Each structure stands twice: as C-alpha cells, then as structure tokens.
A = this chain, B = another copy of it.
Amino acid sequence: MRDDLRKNFASDNVTPACPAVMQAIADANNGNVPSYGHDDLSLTLNQRFGEVFEAEVTVFPVTTGTAANSLALSAMVPPYGSVLCDQSAHINNEEGGAPEFFTQGAKLVGIPSPEGRMDPASLPPTLQQNRSKGVLTPPFTALSLTQATEWGTTYACETIAELSEIAHEHGLTVHMDGARLGNAIAHLECSPADTTWKAGVDVLSFGGTKAGAMAAEAIVFFLNDRTRPMVEAMTRRIKRGGHLWSKQRFMTAQLLALLENDLWLENCRHANAMCQRLRHGLYRHPAVNLPFATESNEIFAVLPEAQVEQLRSEGYQFYTYPTPQGVPGRLVRFVTSFYTRPEDADALLESLIS
C-alpha cells in the first residue's frame, strides 16, 4: 500500500470495496446460473430490501448512481415533462446529462437554496407558475431530493414529509437520490423507512458504491398506487440502457452483503465519525471557515490559499469550489469513508496546522 493512497479525500468513490463485499462476490462465483437476474440470489433481493425498509418494494440493481437516478426518473417523468430539484442536485450538475438522456429530454429545473435543502415554502409558487403556462412549459411530474445533500447537510424527516405532501398534492411523485443515504440515516439516527417512504418518498436511488460496494446501487420502488405502474417496464428500460448484466448475481451479491447486519450503516457511521474528527480539528483552526453544517461524510471549509497549496504539495487530493464573492480563501471539500482511519484524518489536520 502506497502511503499517498491514504491522502485521497477527493470523494468516497476513490475507495476500494470493503472486505465483506469482496467475499460475497467470491462466494457468488459458483457454477452456471440463470442470467439476467433470474439466479437464486437475485430472486431474494426484493424481500431483503423489503425487510430493511419495512415495506413492499421492487428493486432493480445497477452499477452507478448516475444510472440509478436517471433510470428512476425515466420511469417517473415523460419526455415532455420536468423534474423539480435543488439547484445543487447531482442530477442537475454532475451526471453529464444522463437524466436528460434517459428521460429522453425532460427538463430539470433547479430551485436555489442556501445549503442544498429545498425550502417547502419555495415549492407552491414554482409549481403554480409551471401549471399556469400550460403547454408552453414542460409540466413538473417529479420532485427529486438528495439525502444527504450535496453540501454535506441532511433533510430532517419532517421536511421531507412536508415536501412530499406538496409534491403529491400537485400530482408529482417523489424521488430521493440516496447516493449517501446511509450517511444521512447514521446522522439522523432514524430508520431507513423514516426518511424514505414514511416521509412520502416514492422511488429511491439507494447508494451502495460509496458505502463499500465495488459498483452497486439499487433503484427501490416503494409500492403504492403511484409507483406500481412504473415498475412494469423497468427491466426493459434497464436492458435498453445496457445496464442489465448477464451475470447479475455479482451485482446482487454486493448489495446483499451491504445489507447483512446493517453493514452499510456501520460503514457510513464510521465515515461520518471520521468527518466529525476532521470538523473538530478544522473548527479550532483560526483561519478556517466552515460554511455549512457537517451532517454526513463531507465537510466544506474555506481555507487560506497557502494552506491549500501546502496540502496539495504533500500529495493530498480534494476538490475546490468557486468561493463566494468577497470571501478570502478557497472553498474545499474533504470526503471521508469507511476506509478512512483516524490517523488519516489526524495527518491531514496536522498538515494544515503546521
């Protein structure tokens, strides 16, 4: 193991797979089995997710968050429709146009918000204006929330419930981008059900890769009158997107391993703890400004330029962001993971202080 591999705080997607996932993949490599998800392992997936989420669900595994989000939206929004989301949403900014591709041209409309969390009060006027324009504007048919958000914050379950209620009243269904759902749940200390379907979420992109999988996400439909019609054609959509593995057991095995004994939540709790460790250190640093609450495994900090250069020169990796006008220094993001050790966080802090 090269030492610099521990200095990569760019994302939780730079990590390896966790040992239990690797073991599950190895265990699944056993003989000829029916392809395209008809193997015995894959046939247990709906039930297993149902237990974890305490709900009747239909689950479709895919390998990237971009595919999970985009395929989910393609079942929720017609090509002539629109998705309402926070302006910072991953679907709106970092998925290379995949939501537009899979929905076949639906429009994403981002609402500005200070911390990546939509304000329920901002929805009704936006929805009403959209309705008033008739055929001139693509109608909103889905609301997409990100939990945890792109700025490292989380939605309270009550806020999600409030947003969902407004959405449903206006005929929209509710999607949750849960690429870091485990981190949000670990922070909120709620159940998986509480922050999803019990708060009105209809369709979830369940994130596995950042929580320790090699490449495994799941599109989870919480079955109700709104979602049932969406499920039927999903396998066709997935096949058409080139996302139906012939040897699908290898995707399934990863997801089952993460669910076993709540490993995904354990991994996320560890990642969050490492992020709080960073926060405590950064907080004490006089020249560092922390613009957002740290409620998952991402921390944003405004650092003096010199400090940023220092870290880079030592081999640290992280992303920088446009710094709000007038604020001196540079906005950076550090992301921790199941793989971050306390000593890795401490070493980063030490480099900053020195």
Contacts and interface: CB of A to CB of B under 8 A. Distances in A.
A244 B16 contact: no
B242 A102 contact: yes
B137 A93 contact: yes
A15 B137 CA distance: 23
Nearest to A67: B242
B11 A31 contact: no
Contact of A66 (B13, B15, B244): B244
Contact of A93 (B105, B136, B339): B136
Interface stretch (A143-151, A167-175, A186-194, A233-241): A233-241
A354 interface: no
A243 B96 CA distance: 11
Given A66-B242, A67-B243, A250-B214, A29 B11 contact: no
Interface string A9-38: 011011111000010011001111111100
Interface residue range, chain A: 35 or more
A133 interface: yes
A66 B301 CA distance: 43
Interface string A28-58: 0111111110000000000000000000000
A135 interface: yes
A220 to B, nearest CB: 17
Contacts of A79: 79, 97, 101, 104, 240
Nearest to A37: B135
Given A14-B32, A31-B1, A242-B102, A80 B96 contact: yes
Given A15-B32, A31-B6, A105-B105, A64 B246 contact: yes
A243 B97 contact: no
A244 B135 contact: yes
Given A26-B22, A95-B136, A96-B239, A17 B247 contact: yes
A188 B209 CA distance: 41
A321 B30 CA distance: 29
A326 interface: no
A195 interface: no
A65 to B, nearest CB: 8
Contacts of A8: 32-34
B16 A245 contact: no
A22 B1 CA distance: 20
B32 A80 contact: no
Q: Most chain-B CB neighbours within 10 Å: which of A30, A66, A125, A322?
A: A66
A322 to B, nearest CB: 6
Given A1-B31, A106-B100, A246-B64, A236 B135 contact: yes
Contacts of A139: 236
A98 interface: yes
A38 to B, nearest CB: 10
Contact of A237 (B70, B80, B106): B80
Interface of A: 1-2, 5-6, 8, 10-11, 13-17, 22, 25-26, 29-36, 62-64, 66-68, 70-71, 78-82, 93-98, 100-108, 125, 129, 133, 135-139, 209, 214-215, 233, 235-237, 239-247, 250, 317, 322, 339
14 contacts: A11-B35, A25-B25, A62-B242, A67-B243, A79-B97, A79-B104, A80-B97, A80-B233, A81-B97, A97-B138, A98-B239, A98-B241, A129-B322, A214-B247
